Amino acid sequence: MIKPNTINVIKATVPVLQQHGEALTTLFYERMFKNNPEVKPFFNQAHQHSGGQQRALAGAICAYAEHIDEPEKLADAVELIAQKHASLGIKKEHYPIVGENLLAAIKTLLGDAATDEIINAWAEAYSNLMEIFINREQAIYDHHQKSFGWQGFKDFKVVKRENSSNTISSLYLQAADDMPLTPHTSGQYITVKWPTADGVSTLRNYSLSNRPGSEHYRISVKRELASISTPSGVVSNAIHDTIEEGDIIAISPPCGEFTLQAFDKTSTNHIVFIAGGVGITPLLSMLHTVLDNKNAVDVTLIQAVVNGDSHAFEEEIRSLANEHYNFTWHSRYSDPNGNDRNNQRFDSEGFIDDALLQDLVTSTAHTQFYLCGPEPMLQQCYQLLRHNNVASSQIHYEFFGPAGSLEHETPQ
């Protein structure tokens, strides 16, 4: 239990964190990677390079300080992080490393203002948070062992490889020991442990894109090319360039809190999936689950892609649309090419806007929305839904990359 005085001291630091949070987390990561290079493989260096990880951590620290006396407001964030940590294999012994470097970064940032009272308060607060995460993550590891039959990383064989678009390759995975797979929960991801040239493995999360209960897990990996803000993806490019059928890769059990919520027709009569690019992967698994459900509800998928070349799972989704009377599929291309126009491969052109949502969703009172895609698309769609009086509790979303929040985009 955190002492009242500690809570007061922590909350008094909120203005400083709001102003200098990213500077703090930048100092923290620089120090930790220098002093404890053994933890570096747990972090995606592309996200470090872009600053996304620093911003995400700054937001998390600020939220913790602001709501330290309201733990119920932190429950969702704690679960998201705990699931991510469990997917990567974060263990109890890693937490003192983070704590030591975080307190040192606070001292450096605050300078003479870093009184013993402030440092001791943050040490107590971190110790409390550490205990919460360790306990939750141990429960996840225990669940993995009981439900999936393993924890940590296990060898899987690539039994099939196929191109799902010009930028996305899908790998079908079966356990190398031929043990049957426990069904995942639609929306979950696994972590691939990829060996690097320097002998140190790196870790990457990939959503499971197939129907739960299949004899395999399917991951669908987008080739990440270099941009102004990020280098090319080390693992995604290696998977595209080197993986062949018969190869062995190590993966963790399914994790993740962005999952399909339980529903029935008394409370939910319409489920809308909005996917941007490779964001279709967890939503496709959810789509299969909803359409397999005997208590049918109306289902709509809005799939936003650049053009037909990058349109993933087109044939699979078309087959579902032909099979299920309660499923509406709308493909919107932002930049269709001549072949797309000649063959009428898309339903509309442009970005997702209010007119499209109004056309496809006539009533939002009992509708659940699931969003996944690039952050600008998520922000746009979230704003549109909130402006149409959709409650935040009806909107579920996942960032591909460092966790963020769309709540600050909500109109007042």
Question: Is 224 among the catalytic positions?
Answer: no
Question: Is 137 among the catalytic positions?
Answer: yes
Cα separation, 67 vs 62, in Å, equals 9
The answer to whether residues 109 and 20 touch, using CB atoms and an 8 Å cutoff, is: yes
Which residues make Cβ contacts (< 8 Å) with residue 323, sequence separation at least 6?
291
What is the CA 15 to chain-centroid distance, rounded? Answer: 28
Max Cα separation, the chain?
70
Q: Which two tokens stand for residue 393?
A: 């509790």
Cα separation, 169 vs 350, in Å, equals 25
Cα separation, 23 vs 31, in Å, equals 12
End-to-end CA distance of the chain: 35
Indicate the SS3 state at residue 83. Answer: helix
Closest CA to 274 of 125, 348, 378: 378
Q: What residue has token string 């911003």? A: 55
What type of residue sits at position 316? E
**DSSP count for the chain of H helices, then E strands:** 13, 12
Indicate the SS3 state at residue 384. Answer: helix
The answer to whether residues 225 and 128 touch, using CB atoms and an 8 Å cutoff, is: no
Catalytic residue among 126, 137, 333, 382: 137
The answer to whether residues 301 and 327 touch, using CB atoms and an 8 Å cutoff, is: yes
Catalytic residue among 64, 95, 126, 217: 95
Catalytic residue numbers read 95, 137
